[in-house]
């Protein structure tokens, strides 16, 4: 059997293309999957002539100025779009454990949710979010500068803005290589389009930078001139019953994975636009005459529902149009249907009546979209209604639930761990095989193959009719004659006789975005290194924003006790050598403020408190993190190949129970560490030192100090990314952290 990586990529591409074909009309955030007539106020606002078109450009989801966008769109009546060059998959997630591709989908959907509120259109630039970057040169190299530039130009030509606005300056003041690159590329695109405009083609008139006092401290006293526009934004919109700042704040709050919800903003706000290229624009707000036109088709509702959210081969569906108005309407499907029930060019829907027809979905693209033309009985006021298929259910508490229909593989696989540590023994791995679509009785033969791993029990499974998941276990071990120095591999599952590996499905279940699945590579990282851990070790864990520490510890053979910070007692801590705080615990776990005295007393009596990275932001539940004082900064090392200098190589934390070395920092992904300590008590010992190119060395990534009979350690290493990627050194570092012997732990 040939297992083809190219074939896997082909299947992934097919999934992406089909999804784009099915739902491309909805992906720009311009329509809802179902349609209902707008309010009369919204209808009258929509009749305003478009005085200006503005394209806002930045690097990530959540970089956009939603208050300014909402004011332009809803208050001024401008047509506005936001171009996010990435989907934000390289960031962090305050909602839960999703990282990488799954986080990118969450942040993409959050942008759509924001645009549905502020009325703008959403575009993406296709650039990879590879995490924090300190230089624009690194960003442009990893982004493939020419491809992203071409994408920006394509969006500009499609949207045809009068003005382009960047969120960041085109220099180091932007504070992030991605931010700087977004402005640099916007300038280059503007200049190229200006050149085309001089030859008779379209070109935007001006390029502005939406600056603020963050970058220029004297802006509050600035006066409008040709190069600097000072705008007063805000104001009540009677047709909507909201102010533009209120709408903008609610749109900003859709970026929940980044923790951007907050108190609603009202009143007025000052915004500044610095002219970078082109001619100055007159930013005088437009005035509009009152609209007295009657609504064309009030009370219209239309939807396209399906019997399943999973499209494998085909799914039965139905389009429903409900006329709740006082006049008859005519409906004509503009997409050819396969059912003969609706071949008539028009169907009349009388007041209060419902019209529906079957509209099935097919994986081969025979049914790719639904467009309805709706007019009144006189044939006036034609309106185009665009529908995407949805699966609709109800919940006794949440009410109606809707989710998009997704093109779906017939099978997927999942494991009980994100990474398996095999070491010198045999590891039992629990596996789930899922299936979608038709559920007949059938047998399935699985073939597990591991890179550097021996699979002892490949399995055949039998599904009963109607059964959607099978639970099984396989045993894996490191080969007795593995290559010298080999410490990592992977395990991939294949259907017998099929060369295509299985995907893993990550369900996204957050109520501010549509529920859906993200399909990712279904292989399981395997760590085959021998990692020493004391027998009988017990460790506590307190939740943060979500990481794999409990699973990683269990893989090492450590007994993990989940602790509730809000109700923590000394009895809860008995018998524990260490307690690990999840990433950003002091930013998200309100119970830590109450738990601090309990933890500190436990440390004084011999416990070891391990604090993973936190951010120095206003949402910290307490500034007092641990019994020995230290302060957080914003230092980080982003080049994952940066060598580490061991400052205390003989320190017990560096030698017990595993002797750490430079090799433990091989194969790291995305970054070395983040949000290092910037100041600390003299009792702290920094264990490593490193620096990104052309920067001074940083020592606050990993510091440890005694406290009474116990110890406190701050660790800003990006272990949460490395465990999931199967980096052996990250597991060895974790073992040394939790196994550190204090004078009398768990007293």
For the stretch 277-301, pLDDT in tens is 999 999 999 999 888 888 877 889 9
Contact present, 114 and 258 (Cβ < 8 Å): no
Q: What is the pLDDT of residue 335?
A: 63
Longest dimension (CA), the chain: 89
CATH number of the domain at 50-278, please?
Answer: 3.40.50.10320
Does the pLDDT at position 32 exceed 80?
A: no
Q: 490 falls in which pLDDT band (50, 70, 90)?
A: confident
Res 481 pLDDT > 80: no
Cβ contact 514:544 at 8 Å: no
Name the range with the highest mean pLDDT among 483-497, 667-681, 732-746: 667-681
Pick the residue with more confidence: 228 or 381? 228
**Backbone torsions φ then ψ of 724, nearest 5 degrees:** -65, -30
Taking alpha carbons only, the member of 550, 530, 534, 533 closest to residue 542 is: 550
Q: Is the pLDDT of residue 384 over 90?
A: no
pLDDT on residue 365: 62
Would you state the pLDDT for residue 580?
Answer: 98
- List 55's β-bridge partners, or say none: 81, 164
User: Which CATH class name applies to 538-739?
Assistant: alpha beta
Region 717-723: what's the mean pLDDT?
96
- The CATH class given to the 300-407 domain equals mainly beta
Task: Give the CA angle between residues 525, 526, 527 to the nearest 5°.
Answer: 125
Segment holding 558, helix H or strand E: none
Q: What is the mean pLDDT of the chain?
A: 89
| 37 touches 300 (CB < 8 A) | yes
Report the pLDDT value the prediction gives residue 747, as an integer from 0 to 100: 42
Place of tokens 């047709």: 239
Give the Cα separation of 274 and 215 in Å (integer): 12
**At which residue do the structure tokens 């099915």 appear?**
22
Report the share of the chain in percent with pLDDT over 90.
71
DSSP conformation class of 174: G
Beta strands in 212-311 (DSSP E): 228-233, 236-237, 242-243, 269-278, 300-306, 310-311
**What are the residue boundaries of the structural domains of the chain, listed by start?**
50-278, 300-407, 411-527, 538-739
* pLDDT for 22: 40
- Model confidence at 371, in pLDDT bands (50, 70, 90)? confident
| pLDDT band at 366; cut points 50, 70, 90 | low
User: Rounded to an integer, what distance in angstroms lies between the CA atom of residue 255 and that of residue 238?
Assistant: 27
- What is the arithmetic mean of pLDDT over 732-744? 89
Q: Strands of 125-197 (E only): list them.
A: 163-166
- The Cα 196–Cα 154 span in angstroms is 13
Using CA atoms, how far apart are residues 256 and 469, in angstroms rounded to an integer?
A: 32
CATH topology of domain 411-527: Immunoglobulin-like (2.60.40)
Angle between helices 145-159 and 136-143 (to 10 degrees): 80
Cβ neighbours around 238 below 10 Å, total: 9
Model confidence at 743, pLDDT cuts 50, 70, 90, reads low
How far is Cα 132 from Cα 138, in angstroms, rounded to an integer? 11
Looking at the chain, how many residues does it have? Answer: 747
Omega prior to 707 cis, within 30 of 0: no
Q: Is 719 left (phi over 0), alpha (psi -120 to 50) or beta?
A: alpha
136 pLDDT exceeds 80?
A: yes
pLDDT in tens, 650-673: 999 999 999 999 999 999 999 999
- Res 186 pLDDT > 90: yes
Least Cα distance to 561 among 570, 572, 571, 546 occurs for: 572
Rounded to an integer, the average pLDDT of 524-541 is: 94
Q: At what angle do helices 244-252 and 100-118 cross, to 10 degrees?
A: 170
What pLDDT shows up at residue 10?
43
Least confident of 154-163, 267-276, 321-330: 321-330
Residue 8 confidence (pLDDT) above 50: no
For residue range 590-629, list pLDDT tens digits in order.
999 999 999 999 999 999 999 999 998 888 898 889 999 9
Do the beta carbons of residue 265 and residue 248 sit within 8 Å?
Answer: yes
Domains 50-278 and 538-739 share a fold: yes
The rounded percent of the chain whose pLDDT value lies above 70 is: 92
Question: How does 540-565 read in b/e, with b if 16+ C-beta sit within 10 Å?
Answer: bbbbbbbbbbbbbbbbbbbebeebeb
Q: How confident is the model at residue 339 (pLDDT cuts 50, 70, 90)?
A: very low
Contacts of 661 (CB under 8 A, 6+ apart): none
* Whether the Cβ atoms of residue 677 and residue 633 lie closer than 8 Å to each other: yes
Predicted local distance difference test score (pLDDT) of residue 378: 74
């Amino acid at each position: 059997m040939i297992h083809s990586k190219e074939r896997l990529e082909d299947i992934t591409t097919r999934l992406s293309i089909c999804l784009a074909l099915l739902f491309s009309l909805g992906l720009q955030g311009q329509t809802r999957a179902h349609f209902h007539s707008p309010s009369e106020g919204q209808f009258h606002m929509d009749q305003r002539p478009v005085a200006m078109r503005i394209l806002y450009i930045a690097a990530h989801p959540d970089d956009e100025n939603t208050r300014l966008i909402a004011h332009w769109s809803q208050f001024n009546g401008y047509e506005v779009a936001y171009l996010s060059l990435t989907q934000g998959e390289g960031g962090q997630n305050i909602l839960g454990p999703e990282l990488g591709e799954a986080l990118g989908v969450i942040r993409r959907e959050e942008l759509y949710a924001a645009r549905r509120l502020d009325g703008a259109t959403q575009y993406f630039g296709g650039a990879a979010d590879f995490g924090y970057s300190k230089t624009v040169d690194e960003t442009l190299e990893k982004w493939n500068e020419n491809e992203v530039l071409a994408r920006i130009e394509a969006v500009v030509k499609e949207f045809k803005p009068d003005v382009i606005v960047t969120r960041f300056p085109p220099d180091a003041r932007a504070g992030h290589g991605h931010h700087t690159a977004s402005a640099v590329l916007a300038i280059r695109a503007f200049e190229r389009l200006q050149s085309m405009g001089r030859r008779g083609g379209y070109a935007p008139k001006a390029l502005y930078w939406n600056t603020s006092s963050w970058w220029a401290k004297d802006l509050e006293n600035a006066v409008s001139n040709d190069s600097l526009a000072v705008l007063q934004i805000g104001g009540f919109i009677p047709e909507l019953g909201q102010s533009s700042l209120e709408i903008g704040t609610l749109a900003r709050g859709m970026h929940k994975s980044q923790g951007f919800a907050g108190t609603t903003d009202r009143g007025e706000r000052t915004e500044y636009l610095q002219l970078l290229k082109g001619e100055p624009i007159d930013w005088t707000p437009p005035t509009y005459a009152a609209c007295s036109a009657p609504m064309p088709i009030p009370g219209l509702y239309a939807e396209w529902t399906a019997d399943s959210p999973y499209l494998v081969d085909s799914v039965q569906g139905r389009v429903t149009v409900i006329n709740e108005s006082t006049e008859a309407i005519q409906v004509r499907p503009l997409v050819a249907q396969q059912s003969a029930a609706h071949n008539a060019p028009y169907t009349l829907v009388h007041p209060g009546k419902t019209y529906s027809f079957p509209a099935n979905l097919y994986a081969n693209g025979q049914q790719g979209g639904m467009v309805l033309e709706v007019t009144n009985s006189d044939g006036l006021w034609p309106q185009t209604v665009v529908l995407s298929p949805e699966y609709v259910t109800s919940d006794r508490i949440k009410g109606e639930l809707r989710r998009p229909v997704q093109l779906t593989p017939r099978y997927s696989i999942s494991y009980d761990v994100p990474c398996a540590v095999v070491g010198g023994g045999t590891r039992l791995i629990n596996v789930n095989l899922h299936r979608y679509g038709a559920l007949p009785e059938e047998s399935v033969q699985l073939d597990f193959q591991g890179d550097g791993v021996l699979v002892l029990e490949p399995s055949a499974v039998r599904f009963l009719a109607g059964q959607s998941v099978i639970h099984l276990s396989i045993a894996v071990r490191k080969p007795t004659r593995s290559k010298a120095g080999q410490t990592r591999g992977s395990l991939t599952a294949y259907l017998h006789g099929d060369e295509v590996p299985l995907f893993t499905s990550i369900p996204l279940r957050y109520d501010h975005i549509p529920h859906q699945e993200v399909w990712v590579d279904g292989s399981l990282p395997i760590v085959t290194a021998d990692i020493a851990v004391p027998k009988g070790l017990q460790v506590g864990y307190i939740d943060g924003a979500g990481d794999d520490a409990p699973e990683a510890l269990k893989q090492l053979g450590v007994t993990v006790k989940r602790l509730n910070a809000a109700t923590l007692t000394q009895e809860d801590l008995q018998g524990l050598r260490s307690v690990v705080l999840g990433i950003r615990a002091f930013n998200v776990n309100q119970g830590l403020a109450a738990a601090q005295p309990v933890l500190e007393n436990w440390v004084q009596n011999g416990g070891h408190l391990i604090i993973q990275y936190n951010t120095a932001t206003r949402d910290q539940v307490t500034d007092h993190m641990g019994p020995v004082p230290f302060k957080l900064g914003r230092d980080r090392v982003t080049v994952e190949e940066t060598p580490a200098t061991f400052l205390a190589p003989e320190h017990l934390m560096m030698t017990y129970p595993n002797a750490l070395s430079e090799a433990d920092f091989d194969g790291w992904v995305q970054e070395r560490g983040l949000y290092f300590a910037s100041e600390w008590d003299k009792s702290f010992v920094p264990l490593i030192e490193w620096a990104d190119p052309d920067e001074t060395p940083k020592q606050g990534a990993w510091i440890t100090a005694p406290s009474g009979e116990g110890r406190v350690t701050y660790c800003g290493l990006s272990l949460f990314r490395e465990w999931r990627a199967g980096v052996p050194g990250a597991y060895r570092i974790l073992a040394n952290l939790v196994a550190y012997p204090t004078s009398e732990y768990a007293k």
